[in-house]
Structure formats: structure tokens, C-alpha cells
Structure 1
Amino acid sequence: MTPTLRVMLLIDADNVSADVIEQAVQRTMDEYGAIHVRRAYCNAEMAVNRQAMFKRLSVRPMVNLSAGKNSTDIALSVDAIDLAINERPDVVVLVSSDSDFAPLVIRLREKGCRVCGIGQQGKTGEETVGVYDAFMDLAHHAGTKPAVRTAPAKKAAAAKSAPAKTARAKAAPAAKKAAAKTPARKTAKAVKAAPPSQQQQQPQISEAAEFILQAAPALRSGNDVPLNDVAKALRTAGLLGKHGSSLKLFDKLTAEFAVMQHPDRIRWTGAPAP
């Protein structure tokens, strides 16, 4: 029996379309039968917009909060070397049309990995293709989704449920329209009935801050929290690199977080007043 190769799929989600990402996962599964590491590197806005797709494909989003040039590429490259050392994959598949990954491809090959590339048709240059051991260009199909493979045992059940799904699909627009109207009226009444003091206690939270608050919920209290505890939580959630500086991160978010030193603690300034 042929042993299963250990395969690592790393996606530059800021560089290729959602449709190409879905095709890349499917093609890699078809080629190797299993994907041991699935990660997509992107900014916070992209992670929010594509969270349903990432969940469906079992891809772990690696959110990059830095806004610097090529910061997502750097985050992917650093993580790729770390994973190559610790996980020892046989194959690394990089999903990107970016030529900047050439040094990473060479270094991964030196680590004993076969490095394959998947790019988006029309965005990939010839100099990029030649670096990889193998390269595949996938066409972006706007407004369509690749077919999802169905397990043999489930095909009959899926065929039986098709009429019911069609009926539900036809009824969905009317149901959505009715549902949209009702909450809107209730919300308007609630806002009118609430005292002005309560209406003002709904701070606007940026997407980056929301990711941090989800990773470190203790910050929602508005109390001072040890900076070291927050940094550990951010690393566990993949929001901060292994050697990343939490202070540098929060220096970019001074409008929403206040850092106190001696001892090092941090507070979310957007917490509602008690």
C-alpha cells in the first residue's frame, strides 16, 4: 500500500479569487487524496467576507492585521518555513500568482519538499511558473461555484431531496423579503423607545478590533488585562505570529486600545460605560 503523502496547502487569499481557492482545494484533494495543513493568509476584511467558504473547505484563515506592503506575503513565507521544519511535509502547494514567492519556493525545495503552484489565469507571469516543480493555472469563473464532490452513499439521498430543495429555493426570496421587513420595524421601535443614554452606548468596532476581542474576550469588560495573556490568546488564534510583537500590533490600534506599562497591561477603550 502506497503511504499517503503529507500535503500542505498555503493560500495567498489576497491574490486569488474565492472561486480559484475552491478549485485549488478540490484539485489538490483529487491529486493527493488528503491535505494535512490548509491555511489562507489574508487581511481582516477578506477573512470576514470569505469566512463561510473557509469554514466549508476546512481552511484556517490566518488574519494579517499589518497594513504594510507585502505584509501578507511575508506572513505566509515565515509560516511556511516554520511549518516545513516542524511538520515536515512531502508536498507544499502554494496558491498565488505572485512572483515574489520564488525565494520561498527555492528554500522549501532545499528542505526536501516538492513545491507545486496554483495561480489564477491571466495574473501569472512566465517567470513565476518556471520556479515551481509543477504549476497549474485555474480560470476564474465569475458568479459560479465548482461542483462539490458527493460521497457515493449520499448521492441517492441528494437526488431524492432535489425537488424539495428546488421548492425551498423558489420560496426563499419571498421569505427573505418578509423577514427583512419585520426586524427593521422592531429595531426602529426599539431605538425610539430606548433612552438617549442607552442609544449612545453602542460603539463602532473595527473589524481588526472585533477579531482581537473574539480571541481575548476578557478585554470586552473594559478592565485592564495583562498584555502577556492577550498576546498568548492572539497567537493561539493565529492573529499574531510566533515571534510577533503585540506592542507593535496595538500601536496601530491606538484609537481602540490603550497600553499601560509597568506592569504591562492593555484595555479596550470602546467598552460601554457601566
Structure 2
Amino acid sequence: MNATTPKVMLLIDADNVSADVMEQAVHKVLAEHGALHVRRAYCTAEVALKHQSLFKRLSVRPMVNLAAGKNSTDIALAVDALDLAIAERPQVVYLVSSDSDFAPLVIRLREKGCRVCGIGQQGKTGEETVGAYDAFTDLEHHGSRPAAAAAPAPARKTRARPATKTAAAKTAPAAKKTAAKTAARKTAAARQPNPPSEAAEFILQALPALRTGKEVALNDAAQALRAAGLLGKHGSSLKLFDKLTDEFAVLQHPDRIRWTGATAA
């Protein structure tokens, strides 16, 4: 790394700002410093799925928070920020959020020798939030333009013709075949298992063996979840699966986990 290039860290509160503000923030920091060494976005599983293409395009690592409760994502970001400040020793830290709750984190990072800059979404940031940082930038949320609704085509008038006996005879077998196919599709759909929830989908991506119906040792599952960023260093995989009892079964002697959705596949 060039000695003149500071080590820069960007941490995004993805539950708090819009997708285009996140993208603007990444480009702004890259334009200002020329490099961005740590790029992480903290969010729920639902938000991670919604923005997964954006995160891939920007090379941002999503840190998925499956814990329930108010401010759980903010706490995960704050804990990780201090760990990274000690391990990576960045010169500059950017926090992308309009939330005033990060003021104590800003002070602590500054005490660690970091210059702490904030990036927020215009219209959501209060004065008390701006004052906590060494520098703060408000970015405008551009939103997305709704597609113009297509004008309905004028109805064409057609003259009804009386059906002949020959046409009726040809139509009847075709109608029966169509009805039979429709019934078969409905039966097949009824037999299909319910799709996994968004939180379960992240777990299945980290543990693909579960999707095939195999049972995975709880210790192996915990290691895979930590490697995927779904579980903290000291987090309990058992507590995580206890929140998803409708989709995962915890088996004992020896301890292992099974995805219940695979039984109907």
C-alpha cells in the first residue's frame, strides 16, 4: 500500500439509508481517497436479499443480522467497528447512517486515533448527528421513477358467430384436456414444499447440505455460519435455530440440525 494512501474503512447501516445513497457513498469515498479497504453493510436478511445485486456490484460485504429486537443491527455495527479499528488500524472511518445513536461510537473511534466521517441521507439527518463527526456529508436520495402506465388498448368489437355442431364437438375434448392439465398443475403445486423464509435462505446458502435433506452437526453448522458472517464470533447457533423452529429441527445425541423443508421435497 502506498504510504501516502490512508487506510479507509466504510461501514453502512443499510437498514437506515436507501440503495442509491449507499452507492453514492461508495463512489464518493473512492473518488476522495482512491481506495476503500473495508466495505461492509449491516442489515437484516430481508434487506440483504433486496440489495444483494448492489452489494455484489460495489464489492460490499453484507453482514446479516438475524437477531430480533430494536437497534440490534446498530449494535452489531458498533461492535464490529471497534474490532476492526483495533485489528485493521484504519486512518479514516466512514459511517453511512443518519442515526444519532452512533455518537458514542464516533467518540470511541476518534479516541482510537481514527478520523471519523459521516454520510447520511438528506432529510433524515438531525443537527445532533452532524455535530458528532469530524466531517459529515448529506447525500440526496434520488429515488426511482415509476414506469409510465401503458394506455389500455381500445376494445375491438367482434361479431359473435353461432357455434356449429362440428366446432362444438372439436372444442369439447380440448377443453377436457385443458381442465385435466390445470388440475394436474394444482395438485403438483399443492405437493411442493413452502419456500424457505428469507432468513432461512441465507442459512441454506451457507449450509447447502441442509437443502438436500442431510443432517449437519451443530458445531459444523456454527463454523459455516460464522464464515458466512451470519453468526458472531461468540454467537450461539442453537439460539439462532431456536428462532426458526418452523423450518429447522435441532436433533440430539449427537447434536445436529436438519431443514424440515427438505422432507417434502
Sort the TM-score into its range (normalised by shorter chain). 0.7 to 0.9
Match of 1:101, SS state, is: helix
1:197 is displaced (CA, Å) by: 6.5
Query: What residue ranges of structure 2 are gaps of 5+ in the alignment?
Result: 146-178
Match of 1:16, SS state, is: coil
After superposition, the Cα gap between the structure-2 partners of 1:206 and 1:3, relative to the gap in structure 1 and judged at 3 Å, is: same
How many residues align? The count is: 231
Conserved in 1, the CA contact under 8 Å of 2:191 and 2:264? no
After superposition, the Cα gap between the structure-2 partners of 1:235 and 1:189, relative to the gap in structure 1 and judged at 3 Å, is: farther
1:245 is displaced (CA, Å) by: 1.3
Structure 1 counterpart of 2:225, from 227, 234, 246: 234
Deviation track 1:141-174 (CA, whole Å, cap 9, x = no partner) reads 1227xxxxxxxxxxxxxxxxxxxxxxxxxxxxxx
The match for 1:255 is 246
| Cα distance in 2 for residues equivalent to 1:104 and 1:240 | 22
After superposition, the Cα gap between the structure-2 partners of 1:108 and 1:190, relative to the gap in structure 1 and judged at 3 Å, is: farther
2:81 equivalent to 1:76: no
| Cα distance in 1 for residues equivalent to 2:181 and 2:41 | 40
| Cα distance in 1 for residues equivalent to 2:230 and 2:221 | 11
| Cα distance in 2 for residues equivalent to 1:72 and 1:191 | 45
Match of 1:272, SS state, is: helix
1:219 is displaced (CA, Å) by: 1.2
The match for 2:127 is 126
1:113 is displaced (CA, Å) by: 1.0
1:190 is displaced (CA, Å) by: 8.0
Structure 2 counterpart of 1:201, from 171, 192, 206: 192
Deviation track 1:182-226 (CA, whole Å, cap 9, x = no partner) reads xxxxxx998755694685133321011111000011112323210
| Cα distance in 2 for residues equivalent to 1:56 and 1:253 | 30
TM-score, normalising length: structure 1: 0.79
The match for 1:96 is 97
Deviation track 1:227-249 (CA, whole Å, cap 9, x = no partner) reads 01011111111111111111111
1:69 is displaced (CA, Å) by: 0.4
1:110 is displaced (CA, Å) by: 1.3
2:256 equivalent to 1:271: no
TM-score, normalising length: structure 2: 0.81
| Cα distance in 2 for residues equivalent to 1:62 and 1:48 | 12
| Cα distance in 2 for residues equivalent to 1:85 and 1:3 | 21
Greater C-alpha Rg: 2
The match for 2:150 is none
2:53 equivalent to 1:62: no
Match of 1:270, SS state, is: helix
1:260 is displaced (CA, Å) by: 2.2
Query: What residue ranges of structure 1 are gaps of 5+ in the alignment?
Result: 145-187
- Aligned ranges 1:1-274 → 2 under 5 Å: 3-143=4-144, 193=184, 196=187, 199-273=190-264
Conserved in 2, the CA contact under 8 Å of 1:14 and 1:41? yes
After superposition, the Cα gap between the structure-2 partners of 1:261 and 1:110, relative to the gap in structure 1 and judged at 3 Å, is: farther
User: Segments of 4+ in structure 1 off by > 6 A?
Assistant: 188-191
